[in-house]
Amino acid sequence: MEPILPITSSLASIPLPQHGGPATSNGPSFDHTLQGFIDSVNELQKESGSLSERFIKGEAVDLHDVMITTEKAKTSFQLLMELRNKALDLYREAIRIQV
């Protein structure tokens, strides 16, 4: 059995954030990531609508391709709605915090 080490020894290895300026990151920002996700959901919805329309017109489109595309669009949209709901819950919770 390993001995229990004090917590301060493990905290020393965690880098602390730099103070004095806004936080910067080399990766994409949150709003760009969110906008990209919204755009991809929109493209899936458009593709689903297009395939469904082509199937209804009688063009050579497989039914299973239509169903798969429709389910992808539906699932992506549901995920987007859940993210929106969680963001609204977080906002409401932040409003309730008293300073």
Specify whether the CB–CB gap between 52 and 70 falls below 8 A: yes
d(CA 19, CA 72): 44
Q: What total of structural domains would you count in the chain?
A: 1
Q: What pTM was estimated for this model as a whole?
A: 0.67
The domain in which residue 76 lies consists of: 30-96
Query: Does residue 85 belong to any structural domain of this protein?
Result: yes
Handedness of CA 27, 28, 34, 37 (dihedral sign): negative
d(CA 80, CA 74): 10
Residue-by-residue pLDDT tens, the chain, 99 positions: 566 555 555 555 556 556 555 556 678 888 898 899 999 999 999 999 999 999 999 999 999 999 999 999 999 999 999 999 999 999 999 999 887
Query: Does residue 1 belong to any structural domain of this protein?
Result: no
Which tokens go with 32? 């760009």
